[in-house]
Chains A and B, each alone.
Chain A
């Protein structure tokens, strides 16, 4: 029994976030993104990820943090949750660390402007505060439907 969890740490504005490594498929540099017209602003478009068309989400816009220019450190973290695969644009991908499961605390009401519903927990390591994301919630396609009429047969 291991009570450690490997997480990938990335940065958005001033906060540090973490996602479990099992949910991350790869980390890519910025590349050409094909814009998809008439969709929600946080969906930046799609990229060709080794032959697979993958949707890209700007995590800053997703969490209502002001947009910024993409820089050299900007990365796309390709995540896969359930049947959904998508890329998340983040300011920088810093690090992989082992996180003690005990050090994860339930989310406080509001953290850094991100709605608590997307947060699985908060972990404090030395002086860093890591926000563990609930990717299932972040990648919920229903959030797309709220802004446009969904004409899905199913």
Chain B
């Protein structure tokens, strides 16, 4: 069937629906009585079911179908919303997400979801789910099911003197190279027999997507004890349970499976018919939008950048020609292109919501794993950021949040001992300020243990003993971002492998942003990230140093001033000036940049006061040219690390001007 053309739409929409369901289920957790939320989830699940059935993804459809049944039961007050119910719902969502992901990568969307389906069915009938949470289930408790073909093989080989065994193998908890151990186990078994089935699948085993246990079904002529002995010889294997497979049990399982598929099939057909009406209702609610490939937007942006350069050139020509008509036209064009620029920029802007959306779910899961109580408060999710920044900022934020939950928030018992409420709170805030967007992650946890940070830094050789004695709090916290640093006493898989925060910092700096941390022992920690609104066009102040032109980003300029030569003071061989009562060091651009002399120094010295964080410096230049919007261009790969230059731009006269990196000039 001609389905490929719809595949993209299907994937996009499925992701949206899953996101919506995710959100709603989280809401449901907060207010389990709210039936309107259940209705929302039901609607999304239903659309998803219809879509996947139409596209021929049966597994996806049948799982959503089971979910729908449960939701329907909730709606009709047959069952109440409990944590167990939510856990199963979340587990199903995980499966659905994995399936959609697989489809988007070109897979078939098939996945073994029988356990979750069983749980869902149990819920629907009002039974308790056998295991409290699907993640915690021990595969050892459940027997594998076999399809017709596998059953055939087992029966045939039995006639040839082979015996079928089911092995439950547990690796030691601290086993690092799980995939390697699995491989060794496979190797051992293949010497004595044949593996016919594994649970989880071999692919998942290889990708280490299992806890510590896995199950294998094998055919061998060796006795069960012998098999067990051999496998136990593989190091880091903890327990091996060998059980014989008997034919009757197998028949049961196959029957059950076929029953299941029978049951779900006719109902998915019904779903297709209902689908149309639901879609009709849904589309009216959504705003009038179209999907545009981000590449096209990038192209538009590139073309516009070229236009901005030409606009600058035109402005200069019109100034030279002094023709009023030309002037007027050029001014008009500038205004129009200014508006155009705004529109193009806002077109690329997306609310950070897109990134923030997946956090509540993640925080819930993590808190549960760690036995902590955490409440995530999101403020300012509507704040908009450039699409390119959005794409990149997700991972660093995940890292910081994990960090806050793992290291920041204490265990409930510790919290109540120190007089805090048991539930820790993490605030995730986003807001605009000037040309920047700020994202803050604040927790009310234990704060950063200064002593421990210093000790660790000493131990890892990041600082010396002498340095450690004169550290300010701020400097001390900065150490967290040094590479090769991890303060967690126990390395957990959540955070603290020592590759953490320095990677976060690099990432954010590569986006043209900065990150800082502040903490009060006992009261919590706050990480704040500053990001540029957009990456490609920025406002700068053009200055001249002798005959060379440089651009200073407006975002780092506090003020410009013209001072008299006499006002330059000297302190410890360092020239300084008085700036509103503060002593600010002077940076002579001419000397720092070794600019060839061409202009006589005058009595009056123009300076640009710039800042990096709360530190300031005054750059001494020779003249100001003015403020301008410029298009940021990179210097190319060959010159990737030039001192104090962050990039270049092309001026109206066609020449290249370098953009100063004020951060490098202030120590």
Contact = CB atoms under 8 A, between A and B. Distances in A.
Given A36-B658, A38-B594, A51-B306, A85 B636 contact: yes
B148 interface: no
A71 interface: no
Given A37-B592, A53-B650, A84 B506 contact: no
Interface in B620-636: 633-636
Interface stretch (B208-216, B265-273, B448-456, B641-649): B641-649
A101 interface: no
Nearest to B647: A53
Contacts of B634: 53
Interface residues of A, number: 30
A35 B639 CA distance: 13
Interface in A85-127: 85-86
Contact of A52 (B633, B638, B643): B633
Interface in B543-592: 548, 592
Contacts of A39: 639, 642-643
Contacts of B644: 37-38
Residue of A36, A54, A139, A150 contacting most chain B CB atoms (<10 Å):
A36
Contact of B639 (A32, A47, A55): A55
Contacts of A55: 635-636, 638-639
Nearest to A82: B637
A53 B643 contact: no
Given A48-B655, A53-B634, A54-B636, A37 B641 contact: no
Interface in B477-518: 506, 509-510
B126 interface: no
A32 B320 CA distance: 20
Contacts of A153: 506, 509-510
B221 to A, nearest CB: 56
A141 B638 contact: yes
Nearest to B655: A32
Interface in A31-77: 32, 34-39, 43, 45-48, 51-55
B637 A53 contact: no
Nearest to B639: A55
A71 to B, nearest CB: 21
A80 to B, nearest CB: 11
A85 to B, nearest CB: 6
A139 B638 contact: yes
Given A37-B643, A51-B306, A151-B641, A84 B636 contact: yes
B654 interface: yes
A139 B639 CA distance: 11
B648 A46 contact: yes
B643 A38 contact: yes
A86 B638 CA distance: 8
Contacts of A51: 306, 309, 650
A84 B637 contact: yes
A37 B655 contact: no
A48 B656 contact: yes
Interface size on B, as a range, is: 20 to 34
Given A53-B635, A54-B636, A141-B640, A34 B655 contact: yes
Contacts of A85: 636, 638
Contacts of B643: 37-39, 148
B149 interface: no
B543 to A, nearest CB: 14
B6 interface: no
Nearest to B654: A48
Contact of A53 (B593, B636, B641): B636
Contact of A83 (B509, B637, B639): B637
Contacts of B642: 36, 38-39
B641 A150 contact: yes
A3 interface: no
A83 B640 CA distance: 12
A55 B634 CA distance: 11
Given A34-B655, A37-B593, A43 B650 contact: no
Interface string B519-542: 000000000000000000000000
B548 A53 contact: no
Nearest to B594: A37
A47 B636 contact: no
Nearest to A34: B656
Interface string B647-663: 01010001111100000
Contacts of B635: 36, 46, 53, 55
A45 B635 CA distance: 10
Contacts of B637: 83-84, 141
B640 A53 contact: no
A152 interface: yes
B247 interface: no
A46 B637 CA distance: 12
B641 A38 contact: no
Contacts of A35: 548, 595
Interface in B386-438: none
22 contacts: A34-B655, A35-B595, A36-B645, A37-B594, A37-B643, A37-B644, A37-B645, A38-B644, A46-B635, A46-B658, A48-B650, A48-B656, A53-B633, A53-B635, A55-B638, A84-B636, A84-B637, A144-B639, A144-B641, A152-B640, A152-B641, A153-B510
Given A38-B644, A53-B650, 9 more contacts: A34-B656, A34-B657, A36-B642, A39-B639, A43-B639, A46-B656, A54-B636, A144-B639, A144-B641
Report, nearest first, the 9 A-B pairs whose CB atoms are least far apart: A37-B593, A34-B656, A153-B506, A53-B648, A38-B643, A53-B633, A150-B641, A48-B650, A152-B641
